[in-house]
Amino acid sequence: MLLKDKIAIVTGAARGQGASHARHLAGEGAKVIVTDILDDLGKAVAEEIRESGGEAEYVRLDVRNSDEWSAVVGDVVKRYGTVDVLVNNAGVCEFAPPAECSDEEWAYVNDTNAGGVFKGCRAVIPVMQQHGGGTIVNTASVQAVKGTADYTAYQASKAAVLGITRSVALTYSKENIRANAVAPSVVDTPMFHRELEHFAQNEWFDFDAWLEMQPISRASQPEEVSKMVVFLASDLSSYSTGGVFPVDGGLLA
């Protein structure tokens, strides 16, 4: 019960890693606000957590929308008193190389991945300041540190996540607010399967050979990232802020 009675918001929690993070935070005693734009899947995740004895509810939140952030955080504070944990997990991935990345793709990916993280931090920080602090876990990627061809907007957005994380950590450390980023490599989720479909169309890309570059040569399961998220959200990581924590099978090494 590392997060007993803590109030936690998780974005993009209707499926994939976010759903797993919500389950693990609830399993550690947190009251979890499951948020996403996929309402039916999000409601099902919250219901499943409640059925297994945890506390969770689903609330729609498009992370690109500042008004929705204000409304959701305001409502959570009204009902539960504060926000102790924010897990900024929502993300999208598109694959255009630099010379072909459209304005629309650039805006969509960066507004979601970087803008969503920024807006989430901006919405919860005043609440955390007023209530003695909190922890923020932002979802970056190994792509924030190490490149792969074709991921122009995605790589830029994930590098921005590291910048936002450091800025929050450095600005609010005296107010007991910690912010860290988790950097997964390959996680077995719907996003990853869409990536595989994309790269299957490229003759030059051999996924198995690529995976062999990774010392632990397999995709991770979402749960393996969730354990790092629980660590960063809880007091287990009390001396860590502004960091980037790989869950990458050793890829960055």
Given the rule CB under 6 A, which residues bind ligand NAD? 11-12, 14-18, 36-38, 61-64, 89-93, 112, 139, 141, 184, 186-187, 189-192
Q: Which run of H or E residues covers position 202? A: none
- Contacts of 58 by beta carbon, 8 Å cutoff, 6+ apart: 34, 35, 36, 39, 42, 43, 45, 46
Structure tokens that stand for 34 in this block: 């499951």
Distances from the Cα of 41 to the Cα of 23, 60, 172, angstroms: 14, 11, 34
Residue 90 Cβ vs ligand NAD, minimum distance, rounded to whole Å = 4
Q: What's the min distance (Å) between Cβ of 99 and ligand NAD?
A: 23
154 is catalytic: yes
Smallest separation, CB 32 to ligand NAD (Å): 15
What minimum distance in Å lies between the beta carbon of 4 and ligand NAD?
26
Residue 191 phi/psi, 5° resolution?
A: -60, -45
Q: What CA–CA distances, in Å, run from 85 to 21, 30, 114, 129, 147?
A: 12, 9, 19, 13, 30
Nearer to ligand NAD, 155 or 241 (CB): 155
> Which structure tokens are listed for 79?
């009902």
Active-site position among 151, 154, 172, 239: 154
**Whose Cβ is closer to ligand NAD: residue 37's or residue 211's?**
37
Nearer to ligand NAD, 2 or 37 (CB): 37
CB nearer ligand NAD, residue 1 or residue 200: 200
Catalytic positions: 154
